Every structure is written in C-alpha cells, then in structure tokens.
Structure 1
Amino acid sequence: MPVKYNLSEKGNPGNPAAPKKFYANAKSSGEVTFRSLSKEIAAGSTTVSDTDVMAVLNDLTKVLSRHLSDGKIVRFGDFGSFQISLSSEGAETAEKFNISMIKGAKILFRPGIDLRDMLSTVKYEKEK
C-alpha cells in the first residue's frame, strides 16, 4: 500500500516576497496500537503469547526512557538508535550560558539499514 500525501502551499520565511510553493505532506492511513503490534509479533512465534510480547515491549519502553534520561544513546541493532537532542538559546560566551537557556528536548530516532532501505522503495499516491 502506498504512502498517501496531500499538498500545502507555503511561503519562504527567509524571503516573504518570494512566490509560494506547494509541498507534499504525508498523510497517515490509520494507526497500529501497542496491543495489535504485540498480537502480530506473537503470531509469528509458537512460544510466546501477545501478553508476553506486551510485557517485554512495556519493559523496553521503561528501560529506553531510563537510559535516554541518563544521556545514553540506545542502539537497537538493525532497528536503529535513539538519542536525546536539545534546543537552546545562544550565549555570547560559554561562561554566559546557563541551564535556563535550554528550551526543550526531543528524542531523535536514526533508523537502521532495513528501515532506510524501505524508504528508497516506498510508493506514493496523492490523497483524493
């Protein structure tokens, strides 16, 4: 199934006088829940139930959160890696920087090879 997209017209913030252009925006076609993922993973195994998978994934979420909050990069092998990224105000010198200048944090995900390869073969279709 292709990834659906729609178009939105946007101006150039660096040059408001420039003509606006149309850009593609990916549109979701639904969602997959934690429970349905667990059932799907369990269906591929003869030894674990969806409850077992849910318990492991739930613990994985807790462990991932703990290691990220400790400032670690968490590598999931071929799946990819997670890391914290910060945004802050700038300071004129290192000595003038203080923690109140940190404005937010986000979690970066860097996909592994299989997910990157999927991106090179994904099909697209304009939403009707």
Structure 2
Amino acid sequence: MPIKYHVMLRHNPRDPEAPKRYYPVVRSSGRTTQRNLAQKGARMSTLSAADLAAGLEVLLELIPEELMKGNIVDLGDFGSFRLSANTTGSDTLEEVKSYNIKSVNVRFTPGKAFKDAMNRATFEKL
C-alpha cells in the first residue's frame, strides 16, 4: 500500500530571499486505535484481541516507568525508546539546577525490522 503525499510550495526559512520551491509532504489518511490494532493482531495470531490489548496496556505502564529510571527501553526489531531534554544553559556549574530542564522528550529509534519495512515503502501523489 503506497504512502500518500501532496505537494506544497514553501520558502526556505534560512534564506527568506530565496525563491520558493515545491516539496512533497506525506499525508495521513486516518487514524488507528489501540483496540483496532489488537483486533487485527488477533486475526494474525493465536492471541485474543483482549490479550493483545492487555499487553499494550502493560507496555503503556512499563515503558514510562523504565524511562524514568534512566533506562533505554529496547524492544528488539520494533525499536527503542529513550529520553532527551530541552534545556537552558547556565554560566557556572553551580548554577545548573533541575529548573534548567524545560521539557522531557521521548525519542523512538526504529529497530532493523521496522526500518526494513519502512524502506520498502512506495509513494503515491494525491
């Protein structure tokens, strides 16, 4: 199934004087839910939709818990989750406090199987 995209005319934010150029922009075609994934997974395996949904619920609890302990959460070929932060600097080492951390971000790095699947993508212009 091809990934759909449309074309947009954009300016270069680094060079406002440069001529605008056309760029492809990937377009979402909808949204799927945890329940929908569990139902599809049940049709592809010996697990029930309820078992799969319960497994996803457990991950929703465990992944943030492990990240807050400072761990990288490695889910094999699916990928890994880690934390990063938006911070502000201080002039001296002593001035650095927790308030220098403005926000925490969750970063996802796809695993090999996930990357391989995405690298097989095809595209369709809308």
Output aligned runs, 1:1-128, within 5 Å: 1-46=1-46, 48-127=47-126
Return the alpha-carbon distance in structure 2 between the equivalents of residues 3 and 78 of structure 1.
Answer: 22
Deviation at 1:15, TM superposition (A): 2.0
- Describe the SS at the equivalent of 1:107: strand
Task: Classify 1:98/1:113 alpha carbon distance in 2 versus 1 (closer, same or farther; 3 Å).
Answer: same
The Cα offsets for residues 47-79 of structure 1, whole Å up to 9 and x where unpaired, read as x31111111110111001111122210000111
The answer for unaligned runs of 5 or more in structure 2 is none
TM-score by length of 1: 0.86
Alignment identity in percent? Answer: 37
Task: Classify 1:41/1:24 alpha carbon distance in 2 versus 1 (closer, same or farther; 3 Å).
Answer: same
Farther-moved stretch of structure 1 (73-82 vs 9-18): 9-18
Question: When the two structures are aligned, how many residues end up with a matched partner?
Answer: 126
Return the alpha-carbon distance in structure 2 between the equivalents of residues 44 and 117 of structure 1.
Answer: 20
Return the alpha-carbon distance in structure 2 between the equivalents of residues 117 and 49 of structure 1.
Answer: 27
Letter of the structure 1 residue corresponding to residue 120 of structure 2: T
Task: Classify 1:103/1:20 alpha carbon distance in 2 versus 1 (closer, same or farther; 3 Å).
Answer: farther
The Cα offsets for residues 77-108 of structure 1, whole Å up to 9 and x where unpaired, read as 11110011111123344333332222222111
Return the alpha-carbon distance in structure 2 between the equivalents of residues 63 and 13 of structure 1.
Answer: 40
Task: Classify 1:73/1:24 alpha carbon distance in 2 versus 1 (closer, same or farther; 3 Å).
Answer: same
Q: CA RMSD in A?
A: 1.7
The answer for unaligned runs of 5 or more in structure 1 is none
TM-score by length of 2: 0.88
Letter of the structure 2 residue corresponding to residue 37 of structure 1: L
